[in-house]
């Protein structure tokens, strides 16, 4: 950290948005939503529930449940997504657009990650739906990993780009595409060089950790997410993209809560919970890179601009005040272990900080 950086002790930002978030449902939703609503004005809510949110009707009902679970006086808008399957119809896309509540359509390659079984096996089968999305101006949100078991798990994003994304973007040049939670230098290069309708979200964990964090003194299930953490060279490339000021790269936490029992298990679930301290984690990453002045563009402007939504007006303040992350949070009948559990954070959100 430089002397100049040390001098910065508070940071005022336009209220940010989270462009990639898992909220779950029921009492789990009620447990995690206050964290996000305290930090973000809006969030793009992922549809991978069981069963997945495949219709506009289901998305609207889920939206109602989220609104009902909001704490009193919260100022938060959920932006809904549809889960793309090979059965999704162009008319469903039109309904989604007309609802005014659905802002994107999420494509999970079948089997790529948590609750992706209903996802897409063969991309060409959804071409008519992608045409409808172009017509309706609905962006495609991509989990960009191949599921081919012969491909090394650390190469799945790079291979997805080569095999599927390059041809997809060439075939649908007017389709807005967000490559979610990018983790590799190849993804950074692809997005940077692609046409302006292609953007990417970046999580806090992929800015702060490389794959050594999975094996720090033992196996660390709470550092396991998909796409999995990568080598340091990739972390650096992703960090450089985030702090570059290029508006194609913006904030999406991919905060993905699982019960502690599901993570610390024989076959642990993928997903890192970061909503309790999301902005503070990003602030730390940007501070480490000497780029706090770029945080507002990344967190508060670029995503809204990409989606064609108004920028938020309200302001928030981050301060350089140390605090300790709780060991656990309640999670319905279970417990949730957050990122940095029991550890020190260097930045804190001044108002509404759930753990302050």
Residues at the contact surface with Zn ion, assessed by CB under 5 A: 254
- Whether the CB-CB separation of 274 and 203 falls below 8 Å is answered with yes
The site string for ligand DOR over 14-33 (x = CB under 6 A, - otherwise) reads --------x-----------
Query: Least CB distance from residue 31 to Zn ion, whole Å?
Result: 18
Q: What number of residues does the chain have?
A: 356
Sign for the pseudo-dihedral over CA of 18, 22, 26, 29: negative
Give the distance from CA 275 to its chain's centroid. Answer: 10
| Nearer Cβ to ligand DOR (180/287) | 180
Query: Least CB distance from residue 281 to ligand DOR, whole Å?
Result: 16
Q: Should residue 161 be labelled a site residue for ligand DOR when binding is judged by CB under 6 A?
A: no
- Selection from 125, 7, 144, 118 nearest residue 58 by Cα: 118
Q: How far apart are CA 257 and CA 342, in angstroms?
A: 17
Query: Least CB distance from residue 31 to ligand DOR, whole Å?
Result: 15
Which residues on adjacent β-strands are paired with residue 316? Answer: 13
| H/E run at residue 38 | helix 26-39
| Nearer Cβ to ligand DOR (58/270) | 270
Tokens 């954070």 correspond to 345
Interface pick for ligand DOR out of 213, 270, 289, 341 (rule CB under 6 A): 270
| Nearer Cβ to Zn ion (143/234) | 143
The site string for ligand DOR over 136-155 (x = CB under 6 A, - otherwise) reads -------x------------
| Contacts to ligand DOR from residues 213-252, by CB under 6 A | 225-226
Residue 120's alpha-carbon distances to 149, 154, 167, in angstroms, are: 16, 21, 16
Query: Least CB distance from residue 271 to ligand DOR, whole Å?
Result: 3
Size of site (CB under 6 A) for ligand DOR: 10
**Catalytic residue annotation:** 254
Q: How far apart are CA 131 and CA 263, in angstroms?
A: 39
| SS3 of residue 47 by DSSP | coil
Q: Should residue 337 be labelled a site residue for ligand DOR when binding is judged by CB under 6 A?
A: no
Q: Should residue 271 be labelled a site residue for ligand DOR when binding is judged by CB under 6 A?
A: yes
| Contacts to ligand DOR from residues 94-113, by CB under 6 A | 113
The site string for ligand DOR over 38-57 (x = CB under 6 A, - otherwise) reads ----------x---------
Q: How far apart are CA 157 and CA 176, in angstroms?
A: 19
Query: Least CB distance from residue 22 to Zn ion, whole Å?
Result: 6
Q: How far apart are CA 136 and CA 115, in angstroms?
A: 27
Residues that bind ligand DOR (CB under 6 A): 22, 48, 113-114, 143, 225-226, 256, 270-271
């Amino acid at each position: 950290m430089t002397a100049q950086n040390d001098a910065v002790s508070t940071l005022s930002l336009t209220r940010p948005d989270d462009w990639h978030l898992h909220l779950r449902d029921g009492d789990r939703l009620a447990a995690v939503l206050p964290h996000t609503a305290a930090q973000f004005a809006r969030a793009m809510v992922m549809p991978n529930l069981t069963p997945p949110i495949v219709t506009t009707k289901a998305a609207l009902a889920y939206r109602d449940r989220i609104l009902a679970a909001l704490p009193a006086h919260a100022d938060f808008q959920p932006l809904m997504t549809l889960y793309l399957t090979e059965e999704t119809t162009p008319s469903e896309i039109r309904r989604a657009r007309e609802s005014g509540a659905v802002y994107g359509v999420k494509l999970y390659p079948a089997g790529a990650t948590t609750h992706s079984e209903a996802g897409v096996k063969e991309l060409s089968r959804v071409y008519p739906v992608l045409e409808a999305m172009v017509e309706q101006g609905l962006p495609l949100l991509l989990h960009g990993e191949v599921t081919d078991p012969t491909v090394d798990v650390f190469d799945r994003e790079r291979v997805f780009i080569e095999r599927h994304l390059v041809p997809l973007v060439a075939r649908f040049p007017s389709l807005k595409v967000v490559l979610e939670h990018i983790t590799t230098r190849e993804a950074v290069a692809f997005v940077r060089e692609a046409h302006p309708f292609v953007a990417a979200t970046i999580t806090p964990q992929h800015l702060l950790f490389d794959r050594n964090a999975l094996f720090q003194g033992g196996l660390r299930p709470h550092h396991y997410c998909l796409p999995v953490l990568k080598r340091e060279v990739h972390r650096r490339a992703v960090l450089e993209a985030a702090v570059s000021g290029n508006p194609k790269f913006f904030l999406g936490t991919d905060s993905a809560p699982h019960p502690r029992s599901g993570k610390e298990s024989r076959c642990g679930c993928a997903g890192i919970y970061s909503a309790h301290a999301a902005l503070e984690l990003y602030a730390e990453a940007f501070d480490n890179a000497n780029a706090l002045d770029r945080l507002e563009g990344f967190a508060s402007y670029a995503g809204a601009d990409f989606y064609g939504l108004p920028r938020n007006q309200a302001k928030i303040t981050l301060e350089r005040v140390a605090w300790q992350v709780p060991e656990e949070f309640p999670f319905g009948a279970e417990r949730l272990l957050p990122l940095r559990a029991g550890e020190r954070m260097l930045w804190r959100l001044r108002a509404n900080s759930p753990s302050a």
